[in-house]
Amino acid sequence: MDKGRKKDFLIKFCCFIAAFGLWLYIYNIENPIKTTIVKNVGVSITNKDVLSQYNLVELPNQDYSVNLTVKGATSKIYSLKPSQFKLEADLSTYALKKGKMQIPVIIKESPEDVTIINPETLWVEIEIDKYTQKNVPVKSVVKGKVKEGYNALEPLISPNTVVVGGPSKYVSLVDHANVSINFNNDENNIENTYTLIPVDSSGKEVDHVKVEPKEVSVKIPLDKTKYVPVEANLKSTGDKTVSSLTIIPDNVAISGEPEVLKKITKLTTEEIDLSRISKDGIVEAKLKVPDNIKLVDVEEKVKIKVTFETAMQKNISGYKNF
């Protein structure tokens, strides 16, 4: 039984050796002509500078490659790689326009003894767009906080408008350019240059456009802050008496130069004419803010809840006084 197995193994092994020898003979001696496809052979786009003559620009992220059908000896074509070919597409030979264009591929280099079948049918597609520019405003995006007891004033940005240029497809998306400013417990005035980021109306960054200038100068003054009470300036009338008055908010934060800030002990509202208020309720009054003083995180108006004395309240009050 063991001898039979050994005999079968020897027969199979001899067949394998014979087949392998025949393959070597055909591959190296006969070496027949075969056809195969070399996939994803890169194509270089040349003379792109002519695009500017037509006020055009190449759209980004395009893949320029073709599949080559080649013919040659078996020993040659089965070891071919895309890097062994040099292909070009010349933009200077065509009248260019916006949109997708088919440009013929030129064979510049290929391995010896290898034939490219029908090279005249090789084309590569390129998408072109109009080059446009537009002015957009610069806006600040502030993160973090300054040191407690300080207030950051509105950033002074120079220049406050910039030029965005590139393919019209992307330029049309740009709404403004953002400058990102990060506070880190600052207590001194901030003065620095920041890189601009073009964004759409939702604040998402827009790629493939250029901003000129790339950076802007930003100055942010930091003022001292303090809280002061709010006082209502009431114009009294003979027929109405206020029984209760609530101001919302009853104190506000203000900022300014330390010497100016020191002199402010309260803020008053503009005059409130009680004769114009027919019943209990809430009225709005604008705060009188001195020069060189700014309100911090509060509107210029406060709400005042007014309650008047009724006739019964007046009689009771008069009876007690009697």
Cβ(177)–Cβ(197) below 8 Å: yes
Whether 221 and 247 have beta carbons less than 8 Å apart is answered as no
pLDDT confidence of residue 211:
98
Q: What is the pLDDT of residues 221-257, one digit of tens each?
A: 888 888 999 998 887 666 677 778 889 999 998 998 8
Check residues 107 and 20 and name the one with the higher pLDDT: 107
Question: What is d(CA 196, CA 176) in angstroms, rounded to the nearest whole number?
Answer: 10
User: Which residue type, as a one-letter code, is found at position 53?
Assistant: Q
* pLDDT surpasses 70 at 212: yes
Looking at residue 158, its pLDDT comes to 95
* Span 115-130, average pLDDT: 93
2-16, 57-71, 299-313: least confidently modelled range: 2-16
Neighbours of 103 (CB within 10 A): 20
Q: What percent of the chain has pLDDT over 70?
A: 85
**Higher model confidence: residue 291 or residue 22?**
291
Reference 184, options 219, 155, 150, 145; nearest CA is 145
Three-state DSSP at 300 gives: coil
pLDDT for position 23: 59
pLDDT at 238: 60
Of 46 and 12, the one with more pLDDT:
46
Distance separating alpha carbons of residues 89 and 47, to the nearest angstrom: 9
pLDDT value, residue 313: 46
Give 19's pLDDT tier (boundaries 50, 70, 90).
low
260 pLDDT tier (thresholds 50, 70, 90)? confident
pLDDT at 320: 46
Tell me what pLDDT residue 282 has. 85
Whether 29 has a pLDDT exceeding 70, the answer reads: no
Q: What is the DSSP string of 38-102?
A: EEEEEEEEE-GGGGGGGTEEEPSS---EEEEEEEEEHHHHTT--GGG-EEEEEGGGS---SEEEE
Residue 28 is predicted with a pLDDT of 57
114-116 β-sheet, strand order: 106-109, 86-90, 33-46, 65-73, 114-116
> What does each C-alpha distance from 244 to 95, 206, 241, 267, 316 come to in angstroms?
83, 56, 9, 20, 17
3-state DSSP call for residue 153? Answer: coil
- In this prediction, residue 316 carries a pLDDT of 46
CA distances from 266 to 116, 203, 225, 295 (A): 90, 40, 13, 12
In the prediction, which pLDDT does 86 show?
97
pLDDT digits (tens, 9 = 90+) for 136-181: 999 999 999 998 888 888 899 999 999 999 999 999 999 999 999 9
| Res. 85: pLDDT tops 70 | yes
**Residues ≥6 apart with Cβ < 8 Å to 118:** 69
Residue with tokens 């194509």: 43
Average pLDDT, the chain: 87
pLDDT at site 43? 97
* pLDDT at residue 321, rounded to an integer: 46
C-beta neighbour count of 196 within 10 angstroms = 21
Report which secondary-structure segment, H or E, holds 115: strand 114-116
In angstroms, how far is CA 99 from the centroid of its own chain?
A: 26
> Quick one: what percent of the chain has pLDDT higher than 90?
52
What is the average pLDDT across 111-131?
A: 93
- d(CA 147, CA 270) in angstroms, rounded, equals 32
In this model, does residue 263 exceed pLDDT 80?
yes
Q: How much is the average pLDDT of 189-208?
A: 96
Opening angle at CA 212, ends 127 and 95, nearest 5: 25
Angle at CA of residue 28, ends 23 and 29, nearest 5°: 100
23 membership: H or E segment, kind and range: helix 2-25
Of residues 264 and 175, more confidence is placed in: 175
Nearest to 232 by CA among 286, 192, 263, 268: 268
